[in-house]
Structures are given as structure tokens and as C-alpha cells.
Amino acid sequence: MSSHDPTDGTDRSTTVPTPSCPPGQSHRARPQADEEFSAFYRENIRPVTGFLINHGASVHLAADIAQETMTDAYRNWDRITHPKAWVHKAASRALVRKVASVEDPVDDVPEPTSLVPRPDAIAEWEAQHDALDLIRSLPAKQRQVMAWTLAGFTPTDIANHLGMPTENVRANLKKARRTSATYLKAREEEQ
Amino acid sequence: MTRHPDSNPQDQAAHHWLTQHQHTLTHALDDLLDVEAGLREILLHSHHDTATENLDTVLDTEAGLAAILPAAPQTPLAPTRDTPRHHAGATERLRRLTPADRLDLRNHPNVKAASRALGHALAGTRDLDRVLDLTSIQTHSRVRSRVLALALDLAHDLARELELDLENDLELDLALDLDHDLGHDLGVNHDHALDLAHEITRACELAVELADDLALDLADDPDGALANDLLDLARAHDLHRALDLALEIALNRTRDLGLELIVDIRTAEVGRAVGLALHQELPALDKDSLHTLLDDFTTADLSDADLTDIDLSGVRWSEHTTWPPTHDVEDLKTRSDENPPGGGTWVVRSGTTTIRDLAER
């Protein structure tokens, strides 16, 4: 199990331990848990959404999964010691399940949600970020490793979370970067 | 970011580009994501779960569940009708009442009053007029309709009976009588009198039919003696008196019917009073079930019951009843009637005498 969890201060094992009761069952511990979670959510909801977008998910799907994952994190808050790794791992698995179950994508604009109140703005936004085209064009495993890397995890972390040898992670990462470099060069030559 | 990429410039450029992309992506999501709204959504759902948990303090989950689950198996307190699904829990509740609970229940003021009213109805001490006054308009209408139906039945019986005894010259006799009475009163001539005689004959035929039917109806009835009188009158062609008697019989029968209705009503009132005392809606219980619940202590264990200020009037007990150690059973026996005689069971008489009358011993 990796002990390295990048960023700062979100490793709850180094903070004051929270009373071991799930949210809702101890009214005294509740405000503290809410405060901790709220800070974590504000810090990480966008990176987690971006993480899923980098995996190849549409912005709408990424936001949905990110919100579901954060909801699960809140419910299990007292049992999670490394929340950032936890949500990234859970989100990644949820995306795999969702992609495996989804049939042909629907073309109509998705319904607004709390997290994404203006789903119609997604298409315009996506058009402004051409790196997405690159990332979405990568093979699945390279895309996955790249997404984890861009989220700040080391190859060792990634190997632990994804259950694959570290060398495989490095190899895929290298390939992904090489593909990116080729893509970038070609783009510059076109301009 | 973490490790540095390879030293290849192109790889470095790609690394830099992707890193920039990541920063841009994260910040750009600010335009699309309402972070505070997303956070509120999660926290609100969780707070709702907590509020739902707190509802346990005001909701009786088990009672609600019992109201939904299928009916429990038959018990000695099985109701008269098919048990609705929502009465399953109530029947089980009744079955679990201890003898002490049942003593308290029968002494509940509302239950006591309703039981007393039922007792009077069973004793048949209320006459029809009072019954009709105390019943609802609907019940009164039902009784009245029943009286009329009975009277019509009797009329048919009488007509049939009269037909059997009619002789051919009855028609002429009647015509002559009619001529004398009705002709005088109504100014009809002799020719019309004969037509009227035919009508009366027809009425007599009907009266005989009625009397015959009534005879069958009342064969085993306490009013059987009256029925014989009725037939005698019918044979004597005394229609007026026969119909008067028939109506009296009908009213007697209607009184009995009315009392049956009142017993049913009073039984339901006792059941309702029990339900109110237990704070639970009960299925309809017949008077036998209510008697078992409220009065039958012939095998009850009352050894731990507190009989202070408990009115035992109407309690049915036996040698198998276990009374509290301090309770004077011999004294209770003197205040009870053995019913049936020699049967080994007693019913406590009305009254609240609790001190043993030593003078009689």
C-alpha cells in the first residue's frame, strides 16, 4: 500500500483522528466530519472531474461520476485514511463500470445537475481545449496511466492502485508521452 | 507533477504541454462546475438520512410493519368475519394480553359501560319502543320495514287458510253483509255489492294463504300458541281480529329482531371500547369472543394481579383460577353464583362487597 499521497494535508492519518462513527450516527462528531469533508470536496472535485475527463469520459459523465464518488466518500468518511487516493481509485472503477454498461452514446444535451447547472456549455468548453483530443486518442491503458500521472500520482502509486507492475506503468507512461510529443510536433508544424 | 520526464526535448515539451493542460483543465472547470451546489447536495442528503433516523422516536415501525404483513394464524379471539390484513397485529396483541391485563381492560370505564349495556340487551329487558328510540334512524327504518314485511307475510297466510274453509255460499253471505253495511255507507246498489263481494272473497283467499304460511313459520316458535289462535280466527272469518293478532305476532317477532340488532350494536360498542382502551383498531369480535376476553378467567393465573379496586362483577372463574395469595376465595364464592349448578364454574354477582360477612358464618 502506497504511503505516498501527493499534495498536502489531505492525508487524514496525520491529522487529529475523527471519532469512529459514520456521519449521521454521532451528532457531536458530525460538524467536524462535515467541515473536513467540505474542505476536501472543494479542493478535489475539480481535479477528480478532470481526472475522469483525461480518462476519456465526457465532461458530463465525468462530473456525474465525480459527484457519486464524493458522495460515497462522505458516507465512508470515518473509514477513509487517504481520501484523495480513495476517490481517484473509486472514480476510476466507476468509470470502467459505466463505460462497460453504456451502449451507444445519446446525442441530446444532458439534464442539469447540482454540480453541472449548465450542461449546454460543455460542448463549447470542450472545443477550447485541444489537449483533450490528444488524450482521448491515446490507447486505453496509456490514457489511464496518463490521467493518474496528471493527477499527481507516482508510477509506484499508480501501480498499487491499478494492480499492475510498476514497470508496466512506466512503459505505458513513456509511450503516452511519446505519442503526445508526436502529436504536439505535428500540430506545430501545421501552424 | 512528480518525476521529471526523459531528457529528450520533445518529450519535455510534451510533458510541459500536458502539465499546462492539466492546470488549465482544472481551472477551466470552474466555468462549468458549481462546486458549492455539489457540496450542498451531498450534505443535504446526509442530513436527510439523519432526520429519517430520528423519526424512529415518533414512528412505531413495528406497528406499521404489522399492519402491512399478512394476517397471523387463527387465535381463540378470531373475529366473526375474515380478518382484514391490517387487523393481524391487533389480534396478536389481544392474544398476548395477560389475565391481569384483561382484568384492567374490563374495568376500563368505557369498556365497563359498554359491557353493561350489552348485558341488558342480552337479558332482553328493553322493550321495542325504547329500543327504537335509542337506535339510529337507519335501524328504525330497518325494523319498521321488517314489521311490514312480516305483516304482509301473515296476511298471505291468513288468506290461504280462509280459502281452505271457504264455502260456496260464503260469497253470498258476504255480499249480503256487504249490502247491508257498505251499501248503506257507500250508496252502492245491489249489483255492485256482488262485485265487492268478489273482492272480499279474494281478500279472504289471500288471508288464508297468509295464515298457512304463518303456521309453518311459527311451528317451533314461542308464538306458536298465538299462531293457532290466529288460524282459529281466520277460519272463523274474523279477519279483523286475525290481522290484529298477526300484527301483534309480527311486532313480537320484530321486537326480538330489534333486540338482536341491539345486541349486535352493543357488541360492536364493547369491541370499539376495547380497541380504544388498547389504542388499537380491532377486528369485529362476536359476543362470545368478547366474553372470553373480558369475563372468562376460568383458567387464568391471577397470582400476580393487583385486585385493589377491581370490580369482579361478571367474572367467570373456577377451581382452576389462580388468585393472589391474599385473596379470600371462599368469600368470593359466597358472592358468586355457580353456573351451571354443580358445573364447577362461578360467576361473580354484581356488587362490590369485599368484606367477608362474618355474621353469616
- Tens-place pLDDT, residues A67-93: 999 999 998 898 898 999 999 999 998
Chain A residue with CA closest to B24: the answer is A129
pLDDT at residue B156 greater than cutoff 70: no
Q: Does A28 touch chain B (CB under 8 A)?
A: no
Q: List all residues of chain B from 39 to 68 with a beta carbon under 8 Å from chain A.
A: 39-43, 45-46, 49-50, 53
Looking at residue B209, its pLDDT comes to: 52
Looking at residue B188, its pLDDT comes to: 40
Looking at residue A41, its pLDDT comes to: 94
DSSP letter for A164, please.
S
For helices B61-68 and B88-95, the axis angle rounded to 10 degrees is 110
Looking at residue A52, its pLDDT comes to: 93
Mean pLDDT, range B6-12, rounded to an integer? 71
Looking at residue B138, its pLDDT comes to: 44
Mean pLDDT, range B323-342, rounded to an integer? 88
Mean pLDDT, range B279-299, rounded to an integer? 85
Chain B residue with CA closest to A68: the answer is B42
Q: Which residue has the higher pLDDT, B203 or A74?
A: A74
Cβ–Cβ under 8 Å, residues A48 and A88: yes
For B261, the grid coordinates are: 340488532
Chain A residue with CA closest to B45: the answer is A71
For B324, the grid coordinates are: 393472589
Looking at residue B48, its pLDDT comes to: 60
On the 0-12 / 13-18 / 19+ scale of CB atoms within 10 A, A68 is middle
Looking at residue B258, its pLDDT comes to: 53
Contacts of B30 in chain A (CB under 8 A): 46
Return the ∠ at Cα A153 (arms to A148 and A157), rounded to 5°: 100
Contacts of A181 in chain B (CB under 8 A): 8, 10-11, 13-14
Q: Does A178 touch chain B (CB under 8 A)?
A: yes
Query: For the whole prediction, is pTM greater than 0.80?
Result: no
| Residue whose C-alpha cell reads 472531474 in the numeric block | A49
Contacts of A147 in chain B (CB under 8 A): none
pLDDT at residue B275 greater than cutoff 80: yes
Cβ–Cβ under 8 Å, residues B139 and B261: yes
How far is residue B188 from each of residues A88, A172, B171, B191, measured CA to CA in Å?
115, 128, 17, 8
Looking at residue B38, its pLDDT comes to: 92
Identify the band that residue A153 occupies on the pLDDT scale cut at 50, 70 and 90.
very high
Q: What is the pLDDT of residues B89-113, one digit of tens each?
A: 777 788 888 888 898 889 888 888 8
d(CA A89, CA A76): 14
Chain B residue with CA closest to A33: the answer is B43
ipTM, two decimals, is 0.79
Identify the band that residue A48 occupies on the pLDDT scale cut at 50, 70 and 90.
very high
pLDDT more than 70, % of chain B: 42
Lowest mean pLDDT of B31-40, B173-182, B323-332, name the range: B173-182
For helices B170-186 and B190-217, the axis angle rounded to 10 degrees is 120
Looking at residue B311, its pLDDT comes to: 87
Mean pLDDT (chain B) is 65
C-alpha dihedral (B248, B253, B257, B260), degrees to nearest 10: 120
The CA R_g of chain A, rounded to the nearest whole Å, is: 18
Query: How many Å lie between the alpha carbon of A93 and the closest alpha carbon of chain B?
Result: 20
Q: Which residue has the higher pLDDT, A126 or A95?
A: A95
CATH of A130-191, one of 3.30.70.360, 1.10.10.10, 1.10.565.10, 3.90.1150.10: 1.10.10.10
Contacts of A46 in chain B (CB under 8 A): 26-27, 29-30, 33, 35
Q: Does A156 touch chain B (CB under 8 A)?
A: no
Q: Do strands B345-348 and B316-318 pair parallel, antiparallel, or not at all (unpaired)? A: antiparallel
| Burial track B276-315 (b if 16+ CB lie within 10 A, e otherwise) | ebbeeebbbbbbebbbbbbbbbbebebeebebeebebbbb
Q: Which residue has the higher pLDDT, A118 or A67?
A: A67
d(CA B157, CA B205): 9
Mean pLDDT, range B78-89, rounded to an integer? 52
Looking at residue B180, its pLDDT comes to: 45
Q: Does A51 touch chain B (CB under 8 A)?
A: no
Contact B2 A153 (CB under 8 A): yes
pLDDT at residue B122 greater than cutoff 50: yes
For B129, the grid coordinates are: 319502543
Task: Classify B357 in phi/psi space as left (phi over 0), alpha (psi -120 to 50) or beta.
Answer: beta
Measured from the Cβ of residue B342, the count of other Cβ atoms closer than 10 Å reads: 5
Segment B325-332 long-range contacts (CB within 8 Å, at least 24 positions apart): B327/B302, B328/B356, B330/B356, B331/B356
Identify the band that residue B315 occupies on the pLDDT scale cut at 50, 70 and 90.
very high
For helices B137-165 and B224-235, the axis angle rounded to 10 degrees is 50
Mean pLDDT, range B314-342, rounded to an integer? 89
At B188, which amino acid appears? Answer: V
Looking at residue B83, its pLDDT comes to: 46
Nearest to B84 by CA among B72, B73, B71: B71
Contact A71 B45 (CB under 8 A): yes
For B291, the grid coordinates are: 366474553
Identify the band that residue A101 occupies on the pLDDT scale cut at 50, 70 and 90.
low
Q: Which residue has the higher pLDDT, B297 or B225?
A: B297
Looking at residue A118, its pLDDT comes to: 77
Please, which residues have CB within 8 angstroms of residue A159's CB and are 6 or more apart in sequence?
A165, A166, A168, A169
Contact B43 A24 (CB under 8 A): no
3-state SS class at B313: coil
Looking at residue A102, its pLDDT comes to: 53
Looking at residue B127, its pLDDT comes to: 44
Mean pLDDT (chain A) is 78
| Residue whose C-alpha cell reads 455539489 in the numeric block | B38
How far is residue B130 from each of residues A8, B23, B133, B140, B263, measured CA to CA in Å?
91, 94, 5, 11, 14
Return the ∠ at Cα A185 (arms to A184 and A186), rounded to 5°: 90
pLDDT at residue A3 greater than cutoff 50: no
Domain ranges (residues) in chain A: 1-120, 130-191
Mean pLDDT, range A13-19, rounded to an integer? 38
